[in-house]
Amino acid sequence: MWRYFLFLFIVQYSYVSAYGDTHTFTFRIPGEPETLDWNRAHTPIETYILLNLMEGLLAFDENLKPIPCLAESWKLSSDGRTYIFKLRKDVKWSDGVSLKAQDFVYSWKRLISPATAASYAYFLFDIEGAEWYYKGVLKDFNSVGIKALDEQTFQVKLTRPVAHWVYIPTFWVTFPLRQDVVEKNGEGWEKPGRMVSLGPFTLSAHEIESKIVLKANPTYYGKHGNIDQAVALIVKDDSTALNLYESGKLDFLTDISTLDLKRLSTRSDLRKFPYLKTGYLGLVTHQFPLSNKRFRKAIAMAIDKSKFPQILHGGQEPATSFIPPKVLGYSKDVGLPFDLDQAKRELRGSGVDLTHPLKIELITLNWDKQMTLAQYIQGELKKNLGLTIELQPFDNKAYRAQIDLHVYPIFEASWSADYPDPDNFMSIFLSHSGNNRTTWSEEKKYDEKILEARNIKDPKARMKIYLETQKLLLEEDAVIIPLYYEPNMALVRPKVKGLDLIPLNYLYLKKVNIF
């Protein structure tokens, strides 16, 4: 009997709610998430939250190889078009209901439903009928290649073999979702007390613009470290975030300001993680004067990228191609070079009248690094081309809304890989991609080639297509300007063990222990 009471005491001690008596992991996110609805989420701010609340059919190992997760196994048909996933039988949602294949069917149907307006709907367009269902041409979802064969078997049929498709079921927009929960709670289903999840943590609290609290999920099927709760503090100001870390109120901190990175460069708790990420300028091609191709080229060739490591202090490297190093399709030989003489020739050749004051607005996040970068670009274009660039800084939510509306002709942005394949970088500029904020569209020259590359297994043949399409995107039409590649710099408290960030910026808290 005494052993029974000792067991109860240990369990109760492990789950007490006061921060000081639990293994609590604290980290910062730099803004209020747009949404915790994983079908709709599309910004890096949601990443750490969603990847610990939920899981997908597959996951990545430390070498970025797909491994089983909610699916215990999967098979691909001999023609490369049909995937069959067998689900684990021991997975339960946080309310005790067993995971079913129908939960994936509902989630994926919702993802491609026009009413959802999901930025990542195009991720499923290689599935039979999915794009036509999204566009409203196909009304009957039963004709889409997404099926539950039984409660434990999920089937996906593609229109053709796709080289990278096995990566798609790792990404959060494809995570399962319970139809009964969404229909019962409506638009507020993702709020604490309503959301059900099946990852290592559940959503305990969400105080808007303040914090998000995750609690260890007692129904989780897998292994779990000793973190009882994880607290994401929403801190917009970088210096405030660093002060919280220095005072012991944060255990983990990314998005460190440029000046602080310079000052902290020799610290033993400052760690450098590889990251598949490219910072870039996007040019909205229907906005004057960015509608002029030669004007866009002039801007691209008037920015000296070699100074970025000196002004940003985060291990950045000047970018050439949009596809970053260590991903198929990367090349240091694509992209327009820094060439002031040619930039001035392009500006003159554009025919844009500069005899009258011309102000061009550049939208950016109001975060330290983004503002530092924007001010540098502003100075370069004034010094080298005589252009007046007005900066329009916004917080994350307002910034996202504005770039979706294409209000400003230039936007500062970055793209980090959702899966380690060139398609993830190049497909965002497809004509119908929800992530294409440039308004540029080249269905014949660009879209068809990117879609063709998906069907090619030979890496050399794929590489050729990605070089051709990058030359169109970066040189011929100058739609975007790659600026830098950067690693993930983070402060990690010594008491935190087992923390790692894979190059997709995925943080799996179930692997972390605090001592």
The string of pLDDT tens digits covering residues 123-166 is 999 999 999 999 999 999 999 999 999 999 999 999 999 989 99
Same domain, 301 and 399: yes
Q: CA–CA separation, 429 vs 411, rounded Å?
A: 15
The secondary element (H helix, E strand) that includes residue 310 is: helix 308-312
187 within a domain of the structure (yes/no): no
Same domain, 106 and 153: yes
Domain boundary among 148, 182, 216: 182
Same domain, 139 and 208: no
Q: What is the CATH number of the domain that holds 211?
A: 3.40.190.10
Which two three-digit tokens encode residue 437? 């904020």
Q: What is the CATH number of the domain that holds 442?
A: 3.10.105.10
The secondary element (H helix, E strand) that includes residue 281 is: strand 277-283
Total H helices, total E strands in the chain:
15, 23
What local confidence, expressed as pLDDT, does residue 8 receive?
Answer: 31
Q: CA–CA separation, 468 vs 485, rounded Å?
A: 21
Buried b (16+ CB within 10 A) or exposed e, 427-465: bbbbeebbbbbbbbbbeeebbebbbebbebeeeeebbeb
Cα 295-301-307 angle, rounded to 5 deg: 140
What local confidence, expressed as pLDDT, does residue 396 receive?
Answer: 87
Q: What's the start-to-end Cα distance of the chain, in Å?
A: 31
Domain boundary among 157, 182, 207: 182
Using alpha carbons, list the distances in angstroms from residue 24 to 10, 18, 200.
Answer: 17, 9, 14
Same domain, 344 and 412: yes
Residues 6+ apart with CB under 8 A from 318: 305, 306, 308, 309, 483, 484
Q: CA–CA separation, 219 vs 92, rounded Å?
A: 6
CB 232, CB 248: distance < 8 Å: no
The secondary element (H helix, E strand) that includes residue 71 is: strand 71-76
What local confidence, expressed as pLDDT, does residue 514 receive?
Answer: 96
Task: Please name every residue paired with 390 in a beta bridge, in sequence order, or none if there are none.
Answer: 361
Question: Which of 204, 246, 231, 248 has its CA nearest to residue 19?
Answer: 231
Same domain, 255 and 286: no
Domain boundary among 182, 215, 231: 182
Using alpha carbons, list the distances in angstroms from residue 321 to 142, 199, 283.
Answer: 41, 36, 16
DSSP, collapsed to helix, strand or coil, labels residue 430 as: coil
What local confidence, expressed as pLDDT, does residue 432 receive?
Answer: 87
Same domain, 234 and 334: no
Q: Tell me how many domains the chain contains.
A: 3
What local confidence, expressed as pLDDT, does residue 397 receive?
Answer: 87
133 within a domain of the structure (yes/no): yes
46 within a domain of the structure (yes/no): no
Q: What is the CATH number of the domain that holds 170?
A: 3.90.76.10
Query: Looking at this protein, which amino acid is placed at residue 447?
Result: D
- Tens digits of per-residue pLDDT, 237-251? 999 999 999 999 999
Same domain, 255 and 306: no
What local confidence, expressed as pLDDT, does residue 24 receive?
Answer: 97
Same domain, 33 and 96: no
Low-confidence ranges of the chain (pLDDT < 50): 1-20
Same domain, 395 and 436: yes
Same domain, 129 and 218: no
237 within a domain of the structure (yes/no): yes
| Residue entry with tokens 């995971």 | 99
Same domain, 130 and 155: yes
Same domain, 283 and 337: yes
Its pTM stands at 0.89
What local confidence, expressed as pLDDT, does residue 21 receive?
Answer: 56
13 within a domain of the structure (yes/no): no
191 within a domain of the structure (yes/no): no
204 within a domain of the structure (yes/no): yes
Residues 6+ apart with CB under 8 A from 82: 76, 155, 156, 157, 158
What local confidence, expressed as pLDDT, does residue 259 receive?
Answer: 87
426 within a domain of the structure (yes/no): yes
Question: Which of 372, 324, 332 has its CA nearest to residue 484?
Answer: 324
Domain containing 338 equals 277-485
What local confidence, expressed as pLDDT, does residue 16 receive?
Answer: 38
